[in-house]
């Protein structure tokens, strides 16, 4: 083996992370120690790992699991002595195991002698200067608070020092002052102390936070890198084969900076990759993994990423977007006890529901993707956790060795154990332990040993490059690893819970023969066409590539017939479900048009009161081959006679099925009789029962308890939208929320807040109805009743009429004509007032927050996700045009003009917003306007709709709506024959000028209104950039929506997006 390979041992390593106190107790005091660990080293050798990473074992108050160090130079007496540590180190090296320990240099415990000396020393003294102090705790205000669940500030007042000290983590962990050269010298002495003893590597904890500088977020500062280079040079001069491992929980481009030019840290944890492996599994889509790896810089020569699935901390969700964080929390931490800070405190097996297939799949990805894999103790046997223990202790319980007393960990009284054992059903130590799995060839432990062994025999997996193979099937992740001198290695993984068929473009490896790594089975030789594979649910293949010796059918147009009485039709769910499966995709409010349906079930059936007609509310669950299930509110009505004739003639799309007696089964919201029953459920304080609780009316005003009247008072409101609305007399507007989610609907929450603020331009809330959902703790709002606002129609219709008249009379469009200019100014002013009212709150979940660089980076990631989604939709639709080609460029090229969001913090705030604001959501009331429908984008989960966003989200929606209005007016005029062919281009140019002018007037009025509130950046260039971000994001969504619903309109948003991404 070459010297280079020996010195770079970490690149070929498999690292095992453990806590001394959690692994094995040799003296029966209930806490693990070094002698116990030494006695178990043969187990680690048998497992196949090559390095052991020890969590802090120094004297400590243990208020942060030992990361609050009180003395760097000795062993915590509970864990043993320096002599027992040296015995362990010697035994590990004799077995070929490398040892990595912690060098926690960002902070110490407040019990460390350095800090005790500093707090008692006078200001400005060398002793005081070992830490960061101030008299003004407003300094460094741009630095985020990392432990948000526990700390409210990064400064804590010390009564002894009579100053505030700086801490990026807990208040009992004061940060060292690296501006002081004496601190750097002290760190070098500690480094020498442990490396002289024989430690092979040092993990540098919390390394991005070493320095502070005003006006920055105090992370990733150049001074930090200068100190790291100094420490690395010091190490290299004295020790040739040792290693620094950086803990830098940052986006890939920032984390990669800790490699330097190969002259800082040898290794670096890849934090953003970890949650995206779980994300891809939940979404059953490879995009999150591929996208983050495409953003990951290649490490310098001799450096390596460290990858992991779980560790001693929470599954951190800092380096994801707000939307991605909501997805992860919904999928993996529904119980709030599972959440801590910005993450999830769970072990691997419980996170994955103890599904062996998922556990194996994620481990295969961990060992396949670039980087050195790091395993967390106990995950190799599928240990459980205890989320009810404090802090992150639930994932730090004793190692489970046997089914005997204390799981073979200790001979102490069970009550003396440092933490209780896992006794939860399915994870009980009597079932999940090393002894039970050691000799079982079908156990998870046996499989992990095989996986580790295969990895160690494949240098290409440790050091090779990666090249993704992107088949049409999005559920399949496939890539090759390539290294000079080694056979190519192909990895294929099915991220779906269903079996998948895939064709891979492997023509670059024509005549190679795939040999399956686990069984050494030879597969068919690769030819000149696509290579076909079938994968089991969550299945995978590892292949060594040895060098040479179709379309869904359409639905029937005939209506299904359902037999039996009304009650029997509802009870015989199989036939009814098939009918609903045929009907649902035809509805505009159905949000699953781009997804493949796996199963449709009826969760609940709730009879609604009606004097003459059979009406029932169905809660219909739609499960897909990827992503979360959808639940829909489907009120059904039996219609016969003239009612059936009217529906068949006027709204045939509302018919779900025919009944055997000649009647029709229809959407109740398509007729006043059915809608009457739905609205009555909200206006009366009654509960209609179903299997899971039922439907409960919640009148919000006393007069809402008055009798509803008769069905003749109910008037349908025409065009089908994302929900279904009716006018009740002249008093109320009632809306049936079609897609249901547990929790308060924003249309209830925000309208209530605005009313409390005295904002007059929203309708008053009259009543709601909520429905219980299966498997959910909270009910969902299903009907919302607002006051009816006297109006002249919505702005969309009014604007189209104005523009049509202007084109007809003048053959052009000009903002100086008609009421357009007045309306644009009013629209901008009222929208600004709306946002000021929404920002005026300290309510939980609504309190405004300032921008941070970290949040801006997630915003940029959200934009990347939108670009990728639009690209996938265009490719899937085989949409071919030069304009589309502009969007189909590499994502980094498309978003180049927005890249400064990474590095330049904008001075602005995030608030709750309308979320789906367009001209159709605004009513013209005389010379004023009223905002309606505050539920946000119905296609998004409620958790995402409640995320704090820039108010320019709404302004961007209005900008896009104005563009649509102009394009629609021109298209209508052309279709009516009002525009000669020769004049079409001139009219389109006039439309473009009109749209730009309207945007200018509206945004100027808006910015004047919000003024110095801090909601919007003061710098005009920053405000424009941010507005363009949200306008572009809306346009990308419109592309996907139009491709699914109105393909003839897709060129409208596509043209606008193309212009935005080419604008400098």
Task: Please give the positions annotated as active site.
Answer: 205, 247
- For 570-573, the CB contacts below 8 A with 24+ separation are 570/605, 570/616, 570/618, 570/636, 573/601, 573/602
Residue among 933, 12, 111 at smallest CA distance from 2: 12
Chain-centroid distance, C-alpha 612: 48
Q: DSSP states of 654-683 as a string?
A: GEEEEETTS-EEEEGGGSHHHHHHHHHHHH
Q: Which two tokens stand for residue 869?
A: 């989604």
Q: For 33, which DSSP code?
A: -
Q: DSSP states of 681-719 as a string?
A: HHHS--EE--TTS-EEEEESSGGGGS----GGGEEE-SS
Evaluate whether 343 touches 275 at the Cβ level (below 8 Å).
no
Q: DSSP states of 126-192 as a string?
A: TTGGGB-EES-TTTTTTSPPS-TTT-S-SEEEETTTTEEEE-SS-TTSPBB-TTSHHHHHHHHHHHH
Beta bridge partner(s), residue 134: 164
Beta bridge partner(s), residue 522: 515
Evaluate whether 199 touches 101 at the Cβ level (below 8 Å).
yes
SS3 sequence of 944-997: HHCCCECCHHHHHHHHHHHHHHHHHHHHHHHHCCCCCHHHHHHHHHHHHHHHHH
CA distance 92 to 76: 20
Which residues have CB under 8 Å from 1033's CB, separation 6+? 862, 863, 866, 956
Percent helix, strand and coil across the chain, each to the nearest 5:
40, 20, 40
Which secondary-structure segment (H or E) carries 894? helix 891-894
Residue with tokens 């739905």: 678
- Cα-atom radius of gyration of the chain, to the nearest Å? 32
Largest Cα–Cα distance of the chain, in whole Å?
Answer: 96
Q: For 281, which DSSP code?
A: H
Q: Which two tokens stand for residue 1056?
A: 């606008």
User: Residue 869 — φ and ψ, nearest 5°?
Assistant: -65, -40
Q: Does residue 375 sit in helix, strand or coil?
A: strand
Neighbours of 972 (CB within 10 A): 14
CA distance 998 to 712: 42
Q: Does residue 478 sit in helix, strand or coil?
A: strand
CA distance 260 to 1063: 34
Which residues have CB under 8 Å from 577's CB, separation 6+? 600, 601, 602
Q: For 397, which DSSP code?
A: P
Evaluate whether 239 touches 200 at the Cβ level (below 8 Å).
no
Total residues found in the chain within this entry: 1064
Q: The dihedral of CA 316, 320, 322, 325: what is its sign?
A: negative
Q: Which two tokens stand for residue 73?
A: 């130079």
Tally of CA atoms within 13 A in the half-sphere of 818 that contains its CB: 22
Which secondary-structure segment (H or E) carries 866? helix 853-876
């Amino acid at each position: 083996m070459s010297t280079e390979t020996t010195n770079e041992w970490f690149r070929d390593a498999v690292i095992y992370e453990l806590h001394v106190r959690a692994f094995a107790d040799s003296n029966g005091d209930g806490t693990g120690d070094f002698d116990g660990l030494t006695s178990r080293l043969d187990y680690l050798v048998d497992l196949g790992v090559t390095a052991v990473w020890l969590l802090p074992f120094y004297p400590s108050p243990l208020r942060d699991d030992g990361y609050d160090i009180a003395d760097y130079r000795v062993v915590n007496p509970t864990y043993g002595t320096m002599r027992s540590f040296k015995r362990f180190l010697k035994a590990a090296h004799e077995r070929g195991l490398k040892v990595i320990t912690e060098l926690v240099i960002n902070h110490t415990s407040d019990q460390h002698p350095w800090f005790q000396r500093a707090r008692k020393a006078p200001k400005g003294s060398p002793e005081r200067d070992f830490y960061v102090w101030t008299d003004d705790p407003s300094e460094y205000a741009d630095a985020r608070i990392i432990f948000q669940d526990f700390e409210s500030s990064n400064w804590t007042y010390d009564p002894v020092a009579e100053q505030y000290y700086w801490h990026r983590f807990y208040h009992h962990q004061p940060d060292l002052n690296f501006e002081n050269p004496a601190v750097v010298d002290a760190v070098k002495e500690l480094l020498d102390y442990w490396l002289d003893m024989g430690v092979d590597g040092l993990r540098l904890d919390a390394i991005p936070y070493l320095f502070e500088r005003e006006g920055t977020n105090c992370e990733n500062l150049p001074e930090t890198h200068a100190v790291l280079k100094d420490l690395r040079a010091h190490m290299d001069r004295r020790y040739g084969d040792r290693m620094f491992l950086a803990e830098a929980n940052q986006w890939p481009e920032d984390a990669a900076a800790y490699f330097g030019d190969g002259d800082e840290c040898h290794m670096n944890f890849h934090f953003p990759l970890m949650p995206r492996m779980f994300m891809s599994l939940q979404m059953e889509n490879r995009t999150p993994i591929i996208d983050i790896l495409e953003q990951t810089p290649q490490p310098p020569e001799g450096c390596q990423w460290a990858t992991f699935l779980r560790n001693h901390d929470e599954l951190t969700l800092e380096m994801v977007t707000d939307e991605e964080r909501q997805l992860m929390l919904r999928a993996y931490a529904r119980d709030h006890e599972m959440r801590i800070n910005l993450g999830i405190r769970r072990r691997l097996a419980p996170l994955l529901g103890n599904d062996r297939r998922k556990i194996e799949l994620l481990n295969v990805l961990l060992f396949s993707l670039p980087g050195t894999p790091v395993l967390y103790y106990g995950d190799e046997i599928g240990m459980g956790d205890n989320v009810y223990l404090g802090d992150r202790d639930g994932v730090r319980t004793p190692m489970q060795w046997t089914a005997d007393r204390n799981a073979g960990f200790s001979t102490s009284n069970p009550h003396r154990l440092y933490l209780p054992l896992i006794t939860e059903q399915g994870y009980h130590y009597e079932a999940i332990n090393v002894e039970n799995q050691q000799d079982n060839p079908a156990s998870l432990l046996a499989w992990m040993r095989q996986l580790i062994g295969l990895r160690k025999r494949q240098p290409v997996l440790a050091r090779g490059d990666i090249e993704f193979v992107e088949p049409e099937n999005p559920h399949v992740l496939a890539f090759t690893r390539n290294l000079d001198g080694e056979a190519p290695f192909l990895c294929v993984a099915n991220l779906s819970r269903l079996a998948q068929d895939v064709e891979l473009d492997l023509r670059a490896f024509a005549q190679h023969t795939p040999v399956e790594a686990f069984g050494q089975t030879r597969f068919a030789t690769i030819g000149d066409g696509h290579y076909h594979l079938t994968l089991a649910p969550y299945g995978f293949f590892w292949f060594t590539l040895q060098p040479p010796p179709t379309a869904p059918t359409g639905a029937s147009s005939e209506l299904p017939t359902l037999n039996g009485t009304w009650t029997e039709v509802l009870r015989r769910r199989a036939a009814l479900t098939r009918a609903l499966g045929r009907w649902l995709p035809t509805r505009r409010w159905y949000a699953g048009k781009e997804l493949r349906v796996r199963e449709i079930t009826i969760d609940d059936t709730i009879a609604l009161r009606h004097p003459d007609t059979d009406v029932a509310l169905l809660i219909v669950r739609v499960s897909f081959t990827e992503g979360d299930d959808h639940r829909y509110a489907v009120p059904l009505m039996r219609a016969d006679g003239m009612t059936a004739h009217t529906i068949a003639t006027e709204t045939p799309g509302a018919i779900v099925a025919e009944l055997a007696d000649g009647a029709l089964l229809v959407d109740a919201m398509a007729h006043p009789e059915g809608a009457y029953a739905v609205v009555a459920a909200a206006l009366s304080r009654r509960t209609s029962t179903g299997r899971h609780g039922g439907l409960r009316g919640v009148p919000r005003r006393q007069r809402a308890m008055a009798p509803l009247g008769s069905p003749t008072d109910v008037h349908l409101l025409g065009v089908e939208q994302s929900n279904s609305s009716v006018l009740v007399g002249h008093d109320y507007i009632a809306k049936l929320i079609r897609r249901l989610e547990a929790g308060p609907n924003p249309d209830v929450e925000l309208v209530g807040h605005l009313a409390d603020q005295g904002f007059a331009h929203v309708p008053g809330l009259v009543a709601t109805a909520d429905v219980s959902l299966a498997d959910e703790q909270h009910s969902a709002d299903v009907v919302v009743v607002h006051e009816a606002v006297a109006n002249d129609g919505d702005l969309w219709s009014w604007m189209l009429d104005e523009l049509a008249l202007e084109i007809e009379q003048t053959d052009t469009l000009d903002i100086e004509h008609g009421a357009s200019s007045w309306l644009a100014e009013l629209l901008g002013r009222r929208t600004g007032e709306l946002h000021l009212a929404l920002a005026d709150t300290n309510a939980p979940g609504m309190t405004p927050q300032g921008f941070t660089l970290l949040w801006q980076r997630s915003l940029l990631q959200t934009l990347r996700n939108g670009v990728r989604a639009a690209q996938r939709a265009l490719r899937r639709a085989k949409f071919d045009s030069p304009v589309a080609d502009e969007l189909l460029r590499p994502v980094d090229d498309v978003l180049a003009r927005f890249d400064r969001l990474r590095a330049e913090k904008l001075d602005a705030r995030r608030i709750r917003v309308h979320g789906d604001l367009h001209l159709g959501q605004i009513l013209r009331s005389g010379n004023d306007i009223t905002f309606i429908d505050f539920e946000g984008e119905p296609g998004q989960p409620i958790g995402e709709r409640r995320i704090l966003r820039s108010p320019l989200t709404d302004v961007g929606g209005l900008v896009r709506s104005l563009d649509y209005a102009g394009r629609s007016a021109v298209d209508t005029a052309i279709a009516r024959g009002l525009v000669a062919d020769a004049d079409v281009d001139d009219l389109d140019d006039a439309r473009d000028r009109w749209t730009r002018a309207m945007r200018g007037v509206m945004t100027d009025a808006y910015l004047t209104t919000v003024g110095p509130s801090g909601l919007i950046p003061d710098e005009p260039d920053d405000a424009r950039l941010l507005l363009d971000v949200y306008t572009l994001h809306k346009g990308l969504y419109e592309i996907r929506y139009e491709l699914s619903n109105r393909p003839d309109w897709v060129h409208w948003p596509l043209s606008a997006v193309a212009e935005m991404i080419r604008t400098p």
